[in-house]
Amino acid sequence: MRKQKPLPGVNMTPMIDVVFLIIIFFICTMDLEKDKFDEAVTLEWARNAQAVGQEDPLTVTVNVRKDGTIKIGKRFMSPRTFQAVMQKTVNRYGTGVPVVIRGDLNVLHEHISRLTEVCKGVGIWKVKFAAIISEGE
């Protein structure tokens, strides 16, 4: 009896490993961007505002709910904690770190003013306010 030679084939294991790594990468990076914005914050309309171009990767996005609650990412914080976080940010990256304040359209001005005063106090001078400039944004 003659032995048959095995048919030549392609080893799929490395390719499957690479595909799984790519899937894991996209799942991890997808959630990071979503947590930046608090869905409970309804932004105000600003018809004469300019659209933001390329965003600095060091940008700190601060959400302020209508009751004045401060939130960065998934973390709620007091004004004192916000000041400590911003001071650590300045100590690590300098005073050129941009801050975007996403204030709810019904939040009292005193809550927004308190955040701008904290930024001013720690030396941050790049403060912007988020608004909706057109439908679908």
**For residue 101, what are the domain limits?**
36-137
Residue 74 counted as domain residue? yes
44: domain CATH number?
A: 3.30.420
Residue 73 counted as domain residue? yes
Q: pLDDT grade, residue 34 (50/70/90)?
A: low
Q: Note the pTM of the prediction, 2 decimals.
A: 0.67
Mean pLDDT rounded to a whole number for the chain: 83
Report how many domains make up the chain.
1
Under a CB-based contact definition with an 8 Å cutoff, are residues 83 and 115 in contact? no
Which tens digit of pLDDT belongs to each residue from 88-114? 999 999 999 999 998 888 889 999 999
Q: What is the pLDDT of residue 87?
A: 94
| pLDDT > 90: percent of the chain | 34
Residue 79 counted as domain residue? yes
SS3 call for 68: coil
Pick from 60, 61, 78: nearest CA to 69: 78
Which tens digit of pLDDT belongs to each residue from 61-91? 899 988 989 999 888 999 999 999 999 999 9
Residue 19 counted as domain residue? no
Residue 2 counted as domain residue? no
Q: How far apart are CA 79 and CA 92, in angstroms?
A: 20
Q: What is the pLDDT of residue 2?
A: 72
Residue 87 counted as domain residue? yes
Residue 10 counted as domain residue? no
pLDDT exceeds cutoff 60 at 137:
no
Mean pLDDT of 4-29: 81
Mean pLDDT of 32-39: 66
Q: How far apart are CA 126 and CA 119, in angstroms?
A: 9
Residue 81 counted as domain residue? yes
